[in-house]
């Protein structure tokens, strides 16, 4: 028997089996991607179909009208959109500095014996169900926000419209604080991992030039990790935009546009969660579904903006990389 022929035939069979395996793997991957795309398309089609009655009835008024009155069949989502953005912005303003500072502590400055317990605690807080945080917020955070937080802010900063009004305890500010508590662990955990992924050569180069610890962090670590930090912040923003139960318990559920953060308000997730079971008419249900479409569009736009920002920030100058 020709050994060369046998070896060639075995190699051919092996190449053929590898080609079949490669084709199956490629088909599986493409199938998974197309399945996800199909689910997204079907979701949008179903939502648009359910909201079509409201779209026909309200038209553009749904987005520019500030009155949400299901009893009279008037549905204006502008206060809900306003509440969604206000609570999310308040949450980011509170959460981002704390999250970045905690991530720097865990990745750069904290003692080794303390980093692991604090990191574990951060991950535990991120895994707490939102309904539990909502109950804790209603029974613990709301009384604290009523007195002394809102009372002190009203006494000293009441001349600013943001802090004007009676201290209800509930409202936009309380919802923003609770959302900040919920998204801080997420932003912290992701940012910490980004900082840990920065090559040590970046730090050593700055130290060799005589830089202090803070100069190393601000001049080497943060610029190198800025795209990842933006991604972490957007991830937290996405959680804040879509959070339902915790916000539902502390925001007050009064659809209105107001300049004061102390006033009761509502956002899209809280209105959907609180009123969907009470929707007795087809138009009412359709309006709630249209509000869900608005929230979906906002989330998609935020993610698109995040991709653009990350793509821009990824172009780190060569002086920083080298």
Per-block mean pLDDT, blocks of 10 residues, the chain (322 long)? 52 59 83 90 91 89 88 89 94 94 89 85 86 92 91 90 89 94 92 88 83 84 86 88 89 90 91 86 91 91 81 55 44
Is-contact 207 216, C-beta < 8 A? Answer: yes
Q: Please provide the DSSP assignment of 251-290 as one string.
A: SB------S-TTS-B--HHHHHHHHGGG--SHHHHHHHHH
Place domain 61-321 in its CATH homologous superfamily: MetI-like (1.10.3720.10)
Domain boundaries, the chain: 1-45, 61-321
- Left if phi > 0, otherwise alpha if psi is -120 to 50, otherwise beta: which for 253? left
Nearest-angstrom CA–CA distance, 27 and 22 = 9
pTM above the 0.75 mark? yes
The answer for residues whose C-beta is within 8 angstroms of residue 35's C-beta and 6 or more apart is none
Rounded (to 5) percent helix, strand, coil in the chain: 80, 0, 20
The answer for residues whose C-beta is within 8 angstroms of residue 167's C-beta and 6 or more apart is 145, 146, 147, 150, 151, 154, 262
- With CA atoms as reference, report the closest residue to 166 among 80, 258, 84: 258
Q: Which residues of 274-296 are buried (b: 16+ CB within 10 A; e: fewer)?
A: ebeeebeeebbbbbbbbbbbbbb
In this structure, what token pair is assigned to residue 238?
A: 């996405």
**In angstroms, what CA-CA distances link 274 with 167, 173, 263, 289?**
24, 20, 19, 13
Is-contact 261 176, C-beta < 8 A? Answer: yes
The helix (H) or strand (E) run that includes residue 74 is strand 74-75
The predicted structure's pLDDT at residue 179: 94
**In angstroms, what CA-CA distances link 242 with 86, 171, 183, 194, 273?**
13, 17, 11, 24, 11
* DSSP secondary structure code for residue 170 in this structure: -
- With CA atoms as reference, report the closest residue to 216 among 205, 206, 201: 206
The predicted structure's pLDDT at residue 295: 92
Check the CA dihedral 99-100-104-110 and report its sign. negative
Residue 67 φ then ψ, to 5°: -120, 120
């Amino acid at each position: 028997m020709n050994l060369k022929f046998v070896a060639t035939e075995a190699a051919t069979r092996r190449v053929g089996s590898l080609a079949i395996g490669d084709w199956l793997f490629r088909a599986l991957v493409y199938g998974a991607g197309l399945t996800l795309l199909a689910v997204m398309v079907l979701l949008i089609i179903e939502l648009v179909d359910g909201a079509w009655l409201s779209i026909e009835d309200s038209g553009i008024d749904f987005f520019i009208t500030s009155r949400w009155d299901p009893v009279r069949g008037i549905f204006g989502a502008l206060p809900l959109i306003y509440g969604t953005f206000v609570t999310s912005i308040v949450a980011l303003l509170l959460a981002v500095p704390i999250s970045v500072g905690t991530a720097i502590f865990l990745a750069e400055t904290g003692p080794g014996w303390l980093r692991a317990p604090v990191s574990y605690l951060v991950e535990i807080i991120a895994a707490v169900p939102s309904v539990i945080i909502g109950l804790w917020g209603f029974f613990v955070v709301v009384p604290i926000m009523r007195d002394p937080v809102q009372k002190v802010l009203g006494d000293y900063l009441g001349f600013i419209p943001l802090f004007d009004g009676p201290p209800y305890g509930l409202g936009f500010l309380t919802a923003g604080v609770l959302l900040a508590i919920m998204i801080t662990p997420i932003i912290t955990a992701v940012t910490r991992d980004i900082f840990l992924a920065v090559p040590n050569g970046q730090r050593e180069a700055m130290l060799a030039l005589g830089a202090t610890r803070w100069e190393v962090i601000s001049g080497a670590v943060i610029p190198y990790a800025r795209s990842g930090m933006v991604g972490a912040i957007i991830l937290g923003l996405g959680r804040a935009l879509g959070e339902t139960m915790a916000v539902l318990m502390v925001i007050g559920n009064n659809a209105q546009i107001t300049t004061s953060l102390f006033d009761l308000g509502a956002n899209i997730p809280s209105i959907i969660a609180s009123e969907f079971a009470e929707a007795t008419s087809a138009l009412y249900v359709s309006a709630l579904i249209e509000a869900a479409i608005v929230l979906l569009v906002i989330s998609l736009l935020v993610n698109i903006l995040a991709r653009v920002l990350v793509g821009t920030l990824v172009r780190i100058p060569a002086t920083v990389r080298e």
